[in-house]
Protein backbone atom coordinates (compact mmCIF):
# COMPACT_ATOMS: atom_id res chain seq x y z
CA UNK A 1 0.00 0.00 0.00
CA UNK A 2 1.14 3.51 -0.78
CA UNK A 3 1.96 5.90 2.03
CA UNK A 4 3.38 9.29 2.85
CA UNK A 5 4.87 10.90 5.94
CA UNK A 6 3.18 13.77 7.74
CA UNK A 7 4.36 15.70 10.79
CA UNK A 8 1.66 16.47 13.36
CA UNK A 9 1.15 20.24 13.67
CA UNK A 10 0.09 19.74 17.30
CA UNK A 11 2.60 17.34 18.92
CA UNK A 12 5.24 17.21 16.09
CA UNK A 13 5.21 13.39 15.94
CA UNK A 14 6.07 12.01 12.51
CA UNK A 15 3.30 9.84 11.10
CA UNK A 16 3.40 7.24 8.34
CA UNK A 17 0.03 7.73 6.67
CA UNK A 18 -1.74 5.52 4.15
CA UNK A 19 -2.38 7.52 1.01
CA UNK A 20 -6.01 6.44 0.90
CA UNK A 21 -6.66 7.82 4.42
CA UNK A 22 -4.86 11.07 3.59
CA UNK A 23 -6.82 11.58 0.38
CA UNK A 24 -10.11 10.91 2.17
CA UNK A 25 -9.26 13.45 4.90
CA UNK A 26 -9.17 10.72 7.56
CA UNK A 27 -5.53 10.98 8.63
CA UNK A 28 -4.96 11.46 12.35
CA UNK A 29 -1.81 11.58 14.45
CA UNK A 30 -0.91 8.23 15.95
CA UNK A 31 0.35 9.96 19.10
CA UNK A 32 -2.19 12.68 19.96
CA UNK A 33 -5.10 11.56 17.70
CA UNK A 34 -5.60 15.07 16.27
CA UNK A 35 -6.22 15.52 12.53
CA UNK A 36 -3.19 15.81 10.28
CA UNK A 37 -3.13 18.75 7.87
CA UNK A 38 -2.53 17.34 4.41
CA UNK A 39 -3.31 18.98 1.08
CA UNK A 40 -3.58 16.08 -1.31
CA UNK A 41 -0.55 14.13 -0.08
CA UNK A 42 1.45 17.28 0.77
CA UNK A 43 2.45 18.20 4.31
CA UNK A 44 3.86 21.50 5.53
CA UNK A 45 7.10 20.95 7.40
CA UNK A 46 9.45 22.79 9.73
CA UNK A 47 13.20 22.25 9.65
CA UNK A 48 12.89 19.59 12.35
CA UNK A 49 10.06 17.84 10.50
CA UNK A 50 12.08 17.94 7.28
CA UNK A 51 15.07 16.32 8.96
CA UNK A 52 12.89 13.57 10.48
CA UNK A 53 11.28 12.85 7.11
CA UNK A 54 14.66 12.66 5.35
CA UNK A 55 15.92 10.17 7.98
CA UNK A 56 12.75 8.07 7.84
CA UNK A 57 11.54 8.05 4.24
CA UNK A 58 12.04 4.93 2.18
CA UNK A 59 11.25 6.86 -1.01
CA UNK A 60 12.32 10.15 -2.61
CA UNK A 61 11.29 13.33 -0.79
CA UNK A 62 10.16 16.17 -3.06
CA UNK A 63 10.31 19.56 -1.34
CA UNK A 64 8.70 22.81 -2.50
CA UNK A 65 10.46 25.81 -0.96
CA UNK A 66 8.00 28.72 -1.11
CA UNK A 67 6.77 31.94 0.54
CA UNK A 68 3.26 33.34 0.97
CA UNK A 69 4.08 36.65 -0.76
CA UNK A 70 5.40 34.89 -3.90
CA UNK A 71 2.89 34.90 -6.79
CA UNK A 72 4.52 32.03 -8.72
CA UNK A 73 4.64 30.02 -5.46
CA UNK A 74 0.89 30.48 -4.98
CA UNK A 75 0.16 29.30 -8.53
CA UNK A 76 2.59 26.37 -8.17
CA UNK A 77 1.00 25.14 -4.90
CA UNK A 78 -2.08 23.51 -6.51
CA UNK A 79 0.10 21.87 -9.19
CA UNK A 80 2.46 20.52 -6.51
CA UNK A 81 -0.57 19.14 -4.63
CA UNK A 82 -1.98 17.56 -7.81
CA UNK A 83 1.41 15.95 -8.55
CA UNK A 84 1.45 14.44 -5.04
CA UNK A 85 -1.81 12.61 -5.69
CA UNK A 86 -0.64 11.11 -8.98
CA UNK A 87 2.94 10.25 -7.94
CA UNK A 88 2.67 8.12 -4.85
CA UNK A 89 6.22 6.79 -5.26
CA UNK A 90 7.51 9.96 -3.53
CA UNK A 91 6.82 11.99 -0.39
CA UNK A 92 5.82 15.63 -1.04
CA UNK A 93 6.39 18.39 1.51
CA UNK A 94 6.36 22.19 1.50
CA UNK A 95 8.75 24.40 3.46
CA UNK A 96 8.05 28.08 4.00
CA UNK A 97 11.28 29.99 3.37
CA UNK A 98 10.11 32.87 5.57
CA UNK A 99 9.67 30.77 8.69
CA UNK A 100 12.55 28.39 7.93
CA UNK A 101 15.16 30.94 6.86
CA UNK A 102 18.14 29.10 8.33
CA UNK A 103 17.36 25.89 6.43
CA UNK A 104 16.76 27.85 3.23
CA UNK A 105 20.14 29.57 3.61
CA UNK A 106 21.87 26.28 4.47
CA UNK A 107 20.51 24.69 1.28
CA UNK A 108 21.35 27.73 -0.85
CA UNK A 109 17.80 28.59 -1.87
CA UNK A 110 18.26 31.73 -3.97
CA UNK A 111 14.90 31.95 -5.74
CA UNK A 112 11.44 30.56 -5.17
CA UNK A 113 9.61 28.44 -5.87
CA UNK A 114 12.46 25.97 -5.72
CA UNK A 115 11.85 22.24 -5.84
CA UNK A 116 14.47 19.82 -4.54
CA UNK A 117 14.39 16.02 -4.58
CA UNK A 118 16.20 14.17 -1.80
CA UNK A 119 16.98 10.44 -1.88
CA UNK A 120 18.47 8.67 1.15
CA UNK A 121 18.84 12.06 2.86
CA UNK A 122 20.90 13.63 0.05
CA UNK A 123 19.93 16.17 -2.59
CA UNK A 124 19.77 14.53 -6.02
CA UNK A 125 18.20 17.27 -8.16
CA UNK A 126 16.95 20.84 -8.02
CA UNK A 127 14.68 22.96 -10.21
CA UNK A 128 13.93 26.67 -9.87
CA UNK A 129 10.53 27.98 -10.95
CA UNK A 130 7.03 26.62 -11.20
CA UNK A 131 6.01 23.55 -13.19
CA UNK A 132 2.65 22.00 -13.94
CA UNK A 133 1.83 18.67 -12.26
CA UNK A 134 2.61 16.56 -15.32
CA UNK A 135 6.03 18.14 -15.89
CA UNK A 136 6.83 18.02 -12.17
CA UNK A 137 6.15 14.27 -12.05
CA UNK A 138 8.10 13.72 -15.26
CA UNK A 139 11.05 15.66 -13.76
CA UNK A 140 10.85 13.81 -10.40
CA UNK A 141 10.82 10.41 -12.11
CA UNK A 142 13.57 11.16 -14.66
pLDDT in tens, the chain (142 residues): 699 999 999 999 999 999 999 999 999 999 999 999 999 999 999 999 999 999 999 999 999 999 999 999 999 999 999 999 999 899 999 999 999 999 999 999 999 999 999 999 999 999 999 999 999 999 999 9
Annotated active-site residue 29? The verdict is no
The whole-model pTM stands at 0.95
Report how far residue 83's alpha carbon sits from residue 137's, in angstroms, rounded to the nearest whole number. 6
Q: Which residues pair with 96 in a beta bridge?
A: 66
Catalytic residue among 11, 29, 32, 70: 70
User: What whole-number distance in Å separates Cα of residue 130 and Cα of residue 70?
Assistant: 11
Cα dihedral 112, 81, 85, 59 sign: positive
Look up the domain containing 38 and give its range.
3-141
Which residue out of 11, 29, 32, 73 is catalytically annotated?
Answer: 73
- Told to judge if 70 belongs to the known catalytic residues of this protein, a careful annotator would answer yes
Number of domains into which the chain is organized: 1
Which residues have CB under 8 Å from 75's CB, separation 6+? 130
Residues 50-91 pLDDT 10s: 999 999 999 999 999 999 999 999 999 999 999 999 998 999
CATH code where residue 44 lies: 3.40.30.10
Q: Which of 16, 29, 132, 130 is nearest to 70 (CA)?
A: 130
Amino acid sequence: MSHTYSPCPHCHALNKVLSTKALQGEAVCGKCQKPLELHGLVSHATTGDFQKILRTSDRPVVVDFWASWCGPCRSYGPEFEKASTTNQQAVFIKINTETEQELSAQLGIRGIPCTIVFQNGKEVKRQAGAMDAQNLNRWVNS
